[in-house]
Structure 1
Amino acid sequence: MSSKRSALTFLLPILLVAFIIQSCGDNSTNFREIEYTPPEPYDINNAVSDSTTEDGLTIYVIEEGYGKSGVVSRDQLRVRYTGRTEDGEVFESTYRNGNSTPGILRNLTPNPMTSPQGRRINPLVDGFRRGLLGMVEGEKRKLIIPPELGYGTVDEEPAEGSLENKTLYFDVELVEILN
């Protein structure tokens, strides 16, 4: 019994030191921080056409597509996009860490949906969702979304990093209609 106790007395401090050294690392984790790497914003001066809805959604067609039918609310899409604030700060993009893999959008309706796996799929921001409708494959658009069609408005000063009270600018390329 005494040899077991002396082995434990010897191993316990070693294990404790190893644990402390491991926990004092460089604070890195296996989680890779997202770095947005989008191309330059679309230039609206070269737009093919533009329109503004009564409630303030502005759509610039930057490049016409080659598809035959336009997006409807039941479609699922593969898109490349970048969302920026008025000062040019990127808050969301499919251009991440040097990759430009298109994202898949599954709910273009104004209501939440349930996936076949039972997961809730929330609708997109209303202005973004509406700005996608009618697009054809290969088309590029710039969407300018007022706060009321984005993340809404608040009476008090929004929290830092909040997108409330902000006009949103989205550059969108429709890669493919999936269904």
Structure 2
Amino acid sequence: MKHFKHLALILLALFLLQSCGQDPTGPDYSNAPAPYDTTSAVSSTTSEDGLKIYVIEEGYGAFEVVSRDQVRIRFTGRTADGRIFDSSYANGFSTPRTFRNLTPVPINDGFSQISPLIDGFRRGLLGMRQGEKRTVVIPPELGYGDSREGTNGFDLRNDTLIFDIELVEILSLQ
């Protein structure tokens, strides 16, 4: 029992040290770039189910993103009223994030199960070329719908989501 108390105190101390300096209000998105200007888009499309894709800057290279690819992207997600709820530019960084499941179903990588992205975001990445920039406007039915609460303190159910996306690299090519 004595060892258990010591272990509990050590774990508590580690927890307290780890939480020191963290901002309780959430990530700092002040480093995120301004929203892309969709009025100067190179092209735009709207699917029958309301997914809007604006190509802001065309990419290069022979390969386009397909569902089996892994990609590294920079992105910022905003609600329709402009509030940022997620970004690769959080806390002063601009490090691209890697996404490994662009399929509509969970996959197993041998270590864990990887959930699919929300449908509108996943579909917005497909067909991109390296260096391409897009704005993807996702209606609620292709986002979180009314199924679950959002992230980082935001309730994104029934919200239209707007993502500015830059494809940095396709990691696994056809």
Give the share of equivalent positions with the same residue, in percent: 58
For residues 66-90 of structure 1, what are the alpha-carbon distances to aligned partners after superposition, in whole Å with 9 as ceiling and x for unaligned?
A: 1211100000000000100011110
Partner of 2:60: 66
Per the TM alignment, residue 153 of structure 1 is displaced from its structure 2 partner at its CA by 3.1
> What's the Cα RMSD here?
2.2
Shift of 1:28: 8.5
- 1:114 Cα deviation from its structure 2 partner: 1.3
Report the structure number with the largest CA radius of gyration.
1
3-state SS, counterpart of residue 108 of structure 1: coil
Deviations 1:125-170 (A, max 9, x none): 000000100000000000000000000137xxx9x83101100000
TM-score scaled by structure 2? 0.81
Query: Is 2:161 the partner of 1:171?
Result: no
Taking the aligned partners of 2:92 and 2:171, their CA distance within structure 1 comes to 25
Total equivalences in the alignment: 151
CA distance in 2, matches of 1:68, 1:30: 47
Q: Distance in 2 between matches of 1:32 and 1:173?
A: 28
TM-score by length of 1: 0.78
Deviations 1:30-58 (A, max 9, x none): 46342123100000011000000000000
Hey, what's the Cα distance between the residues in 2 that align with 1:136 and 1:31?
Answer: 39
Give ranges in structure 1 of 5+ residues lacking alignment. 1-18
- Runs of 4+ aligned structure 1 residues displaced above 4 Å come to none
Q: Distance in 2 between matches of 1:80 and 1:119?
A: 24
In structure 2, the gaps of 5 or more residues are 1-8
Write the distance in 2 (CA, Å) between the matches of 1:80 and 1:115: 23
